[in-house]
Amino acid sequence: MQKFDIKGINVYLLYIIFSIMLLGNIPIIGSSIVLFGLILIVSLFTLVLLIYNGINLKQEKEIRNILLFYLFWMLYSLIQSTFFINREMFLVEIMNMFIMFILLFLAVLNTSGLKKYSKGIKILLVPIIFHTYAGLIEVFTGEYIFTDNIYISGYLRNKMPVSSLYNTNNYATVLVFFIILLFYLLISSKKWQKKFFIFILLLADVFLLYMTQSRGNLLGLLTCIVIYVLLMILQSKHMTSKYIKLFFVLLMLFILICIAIILMNIGVTDFRTIEFFNNQSNFTRLNLIKNGFYFLSSSKYLGVGLGNIENLMMTFSKFPTNGIFNLHNFFIEIMVSSGIIVFTFFVKGYIQILYNSVTNFFNPLSKEMGQRSLYLVLYLCAFLFSSISPSSLFQLRWFWAITTFILLMYSYTVKEQKE
């Protein structure tokens, strides 16, 4: 019996799933289309077809370690769930992570993906165009046709865009991802017609990001621009391995200093006033972090479990947070919810991918690898600031789609190095 050939379409299926997840929840006749079940079914169906056709489980060490880390994280979280509260929120977050793991598993096992990714990636233009169109409609007309009315009361007066993502911080975080992806498509496209179309989308998304007034994401984009200029200057100097390492160390120090300065006051206020130091905002954010560390220490640094931070903040806070119960900091949230062990492995992997991408940018095996590595460096640096804006990324499907896409891009580079 002839097997159904999934390898030729697997990449396109993955990008279609990414696009569905990035679209968010679009209201129709007063209710939202919940795409979770569809995404899960398509993902599992694709996995079954791929296994049926035969897969190569012998992966490069770096890719295998990434898969093992997320598998360990999920199993660790399942064990935690037997000891902690708020099972409902836990299920939301663990299922989002599970879908991400399945998608990543599909992606890295697909041996034909390396040759087809450049075509498949253009499918992501669909959610980009949708969110750009929705944002422009909201800014210029004040009509919020892609989100429920209960979410827009705070944005109507200033016509701040939210699209179908319910929150201007969420929308701004997605826009940062889109802007850097569009820049990557711009420099990698060969036809001027495509470059022109992508450039128009890029300008529109930068404008919409400014209109969100989300300072964390705006600072992420500004950091991205500064790092790009530095990379271009240093690339012309033909840096040696020694200086690449020095640049990476200085880059990390620069980012850490910037985060230390702005960490306590990254929210949604009018960016045009440059009010970076608001005492009330500083007080609230500092107390959120202090409560988080208190919960972490109470768990013997093993973590309080996925989905439990908000409930703990509501009932067991030692420091007042003025009605705000989410940490608004992705990295702190990982530490508090999953503990020191998971956090250490996550940060180690994050830094390793960033360092390897910097190295591959300066010493690429191909033009495509250099462009891909540049994209990864820019987004990973921007995300350090961008991730501070949303209240909790764990609960958002589109965030896990972005995470899978970033790891997929990195896996292409690893595979290309081994070929």
Q: What is the pTM of this model?
A: 0.85
CB of 231 closer than 8 Å to CB of 363: no
> Would you state the pLDDT for residue 128?
92
The per-residue pLDDT of the chain, averaged, comes to 77
Alpha helices by DSSP H, 189-278: 192-212, 215-235, 241-262
Q: For residue 138, give the amino acid letter.
A: E
> What is the arithmetic mean of pLDDT over 249-270?
56
Percent of the chain with pLDDT over 70: 70
Q: How far is CA 118 from CA 115, 253, 323, 393, in A?
A: 7, 34, 46, 28
Residue 37: predicted pLDDT: 57
**Pick from 386, 120, 243, 127: nearest CA to 135:** 127
Q: Which residues lie below 8 Å from residue 111, measured CB to CB, with a gap of 6+?
A: 7, 56
State how far the Cα of 393 lies from the Cα of 389, in Å rounded to an integer.
9
Q: Determine how many CB atoms are found less than 10 A away from the CB of residue 148.
A: 14
Inform me whether the pLDDT recorded for 200 exceeds 50.
yes
Question: Residue 276 has what pLDDT?
Answer: 44
Are 49 and 6 within 8 A, CB to CB? yes
Q: What is the pLDDT of residues 85-122, one digit of tens each?
A: 666 677 777 777 877 787 777 776 654 555 566 677 88
Decide: 217 and 167 in contact? Cβ < 8 Å. Answer: no
- Contacts of 23 by beta carbon, 8 Å cutoff, 6+ apart: 35, 127, 130, 131, 164
**CB distance 344 to 142 below 8 Å:** no
Lowest mean pLDDT among 189-203, 252-266, 393-407: 252-266
Distance separating alpha carbons of residues 23 and 397, to the nearest angstrom: 10
What's the rounded Cα separation, in Å, for the pair 188 and 121?
Answer: 12
Instruction: Evaluate if residue 48 carries a pLDDT over 60.
Output: yes
Q: What is the pLDDT of residues 323-349, one digit of tens each?
A: 777 777 888 889 988 889 999 999 999
